[in-house]
Structure 1
């Protein structure tokens, strides 16, 4: 029995349930009425046959569907390593592989079996990556049988959409959010961000590129008329690490490929001049450009101009939504320093939360201009100041000032700039 309590209960349940936890674990939801209602909704979304009673009751996982080996192409997991994948690990590392059968090529769908020949899962094979298989479906799932990548992607998208709806996204105050967060939504190497009617895709795995038509088709089916445009961006550095040998890697002059009603205009703006990569980062991480098409989105009641064809990641750090909200809640009556402020997401939340004064620092002039536009859009320009400077130099010069600081370097977190 796992008991989940408190105001974050529904999110804990999403983690446990939507990732497909195996076994006969029972879940009990306890907490405020609103929390238990949302958490119970999350159970209904992720395990529709699992809910045995109303909010506050116990939810038993539903029945599973047997699946067996079907393909001649297979990856055999080394003895003693199978437990990792029975328990849901979505990445089969090279060190966990005993042998490969059927001579699969990169991008081929393969079965994953244990040393006794028992079927575990299936996924996409990549001999050039440290991740030999990105698992897409496991034993016991209805989508496991047909080895249909498009069907699995659609199912994962629908589950991700319903999971976000279960916690209230989108809503009147927030229409930008992360729909798919890689392994967290069982689509390793794929990120999907929603910017009102624009869908931003970030690809960082060979299988995502290999099955791009299926992924775009699934996105079109799931969003329908709600998506006016799909923007596809490649994370070049990570794709290269994954063994990508394609001829269509993003060049400095071609930042994103788009489909939808506004695709021609977007492509024109996206390829008019060489942009170059942000220092130290991947060629897929482009500098923000003021002439790129913009989309206005809302997050926690604040409005932001975002340019999904350019800028960091998909154009806006959707995965930091709750962190920005936390900063807002902590900023009342304080002076706040936002380092690497980009387009002002943290800075403006601090100002909206009652900060006395907020200073944002970034080395990118276009990003600072975007932050100023966003401040004016939210009538917060009187509380905010944006400074163009190298963040480390600014910190050294300001070492004696005392203010809560938000330090979130977008490209300095890992050696490859991820």
Structure 2
């Protein structure tokens, strides 16, 4: 827990852009909600800032006052102002209501064809869900939205726009720019243009101090990935560039550290607020602006998965940056470019048996997901004994299998069986062709100490299903999570091509009204 607190501090002091006794202006990172979406996991900016101020000032357990006058979408970064003294509320609120506060943004867009400066006027109305519908003329129920586009820097189809809000409507910048055919990059809701993140940053706040009357002009530095994206440079373009003398462009290490920090903050709720879960995916490749790299947390250790040929994973600098995140040790797994490429998964050049940064983990140790214990080995080939991406599916199994008869096919080390046993399944049968895996799975289930009957079968899945069918055995819940490719003495399975054959065989052993959970 102490290490998690160091890796995920409540708040980073460098985020504070300005502070006095009345107000505080902070630079919100992307991936952090302004206010808590889930009160059970208070990982929002407001709660974290209040706890930071309390700890820093030695105020005890009672959190200090913080007045909220604005919000930014979760994916948007940049400057936000809060009041620390209720006496400052009226003066600041008046400026927001009268729209005398200047809020400047930088947006990275694709397809901008307009001139600058220009003013965009639309009418916005809420659709089902959270998205806003955009019209060019007044319609019933819609509110007028005004956006000032002040400046543009273009590189081919890519443009960085400086924009100012004339009104304060939900999703205004994103919706209006998308309506002009220039969606914000990384916006899955309005544009679907891929990018390293949502390229929207609140770079400037100009306002009058609500207590002193002083003119305030606070800027939040533009994240490095904006200019890299504009120049068409991904992480790979920086891999061997340290930057010539006098150049202020970010180096590979600078850009990599920035993306890693953003990924850490996006998982703050898991890392700091979920003590019953200490293993999860920390970095998810291109989705976190780091193509070719995935990072998985296992307790106090990290496993880096690097795709073969990916420049980001090719240099020692990448592993140095990962090692500096603060975990006890870092293991690396080099993944073949093709998933169906057959390799010896225990080759030391693909999966070193020892940590490449920091210290070695115990040969086998226990991690937890939603309180369920699983034994893992980080130095035993390309696999660790636990596929982290099935965490929510295992939670579903635990919550819905009380009193059921459960069949777990391609069971591997039996994580689904652990979930079923913890959920009170009356009986489980776990099937896998690999003796080491099924023995490992049996230890996992036995460590749980659950009631119920649990059988572990070392056999090829397809012949075993045929035998179950002939015996007329039926199950209330059947779990199927096959490997992408598998070859045994008696059968061969390829994900996609053989799914129909597998589903037909499995359907014969599911009770009428039973359930089949297929994972891939």
Listed one character per residue, the Cα deviations across residues 303-323 of structure 1 (whole Å, up to 9, x for unaligned) are 211112236645421121111
Work out which of the residue numbers 319, 323, 334 in structure 2 matches 1:220. 323
2:234 is equivalent to residue 123 of structure 1 = yes
SS in 2 for 1:403: strand
Match of 2:4 in 1: none
Contact 1:357–1:383, Cα closer than 8 Å, also in 2: yes
Listed one character per residue, the Cα deviations across residues 50-98 of structure 1 (whole Å, up to 9, x for unaligned) are 66789xxx9xx9733889xxxxxxx9779xx99796764149xxxxxxx
| Distance apart, 1:331 and its partner CA | 1.1
Write the mapping of 1:14-413 to structure 2, written as runs, cut at 5 A. Answer: 18=30, 33-34=39-40, 38=44, 47-49=76-78, 63-64=105-106, 88-90=193-195, 119=230, 121-124=232-235, 146-167=249-270, 169=272, 171-208=274-311, 211-223=314-326, 226-227=327-328, 229-238=329-338, 253-254=347-348, 255-257=350-352, 258-263=355-360, 293-310=363-380, 313-380=383-450, 382-399=452-469, 400=472, 401-411=474-484, 412-413=494-495
CA distance in 1, matches of 2:273, 2:41: 17
CA distance in 1, matches of 2:419, 2:381: 20
Unaligned runs of 5+ in 2: 1-28, 49-71, 84-95, 97-102, 110-154, 159-180, 188-192, 197-226, 240-247, 485-493, 498-519
Which structure is higher in strand share?
2
Supply the RMSD in Å over aligned alpha carbons: 4.5
CA distance in 1, matches of 2:452, 2:413: 17
Bigger mean CA offset, 27-36 vs 375-384:
27-36
Residue 252 and residue 209 in structure 1: after superposition, are their counterparts in 2 closer, same or farther (change >3 A)?
farther
CA distance in 2, matches of 1:62, 1:392: 61
| Distance apart, 1:32 and its partner CA | 6.6
SS in 2 for 1:253: coil
Listed one character per residue, the Cα deviations across residues 141-166 of structure 1 (whole Å, up to 9, x for unaligned) are xxxx7242222222222222222123
Listed one character per residue, the Cα deviations across residues 156-202 of structure 1 (whole Å, up to 9, x for unaligned) are 22222222123565633211111111122221221111111221111
Contact 1:181–1:190, Cα closer than 8 Å, also in 2: yes
Larger gyration radius, structure 1 or structure 2: 2
CA distance in 2, matches of 1:369, 1:393: 20
Residue 261 and residue 153 in structure 1: after superposition, are their counterparts in 2 closer, same or farther (change >3 A)?
closer
| Distance apart, 1:394 and its partner CA | 2.1
Unaligned runs of 5+ in 1: 1-16, 21-26, 68-74, 92-110, 114-118, 126-132, 136-144, 242-248, 267-291
Match of 1:97 in 2: none
Q: How many residues end up aligned between the 2 structures?
A: 305
SS in 2 for 1:179: strand
TM-score, L = length of structure 1: 0.59
Contact 1:46–1:163, Cα closer than 8 Å, also in 2: no
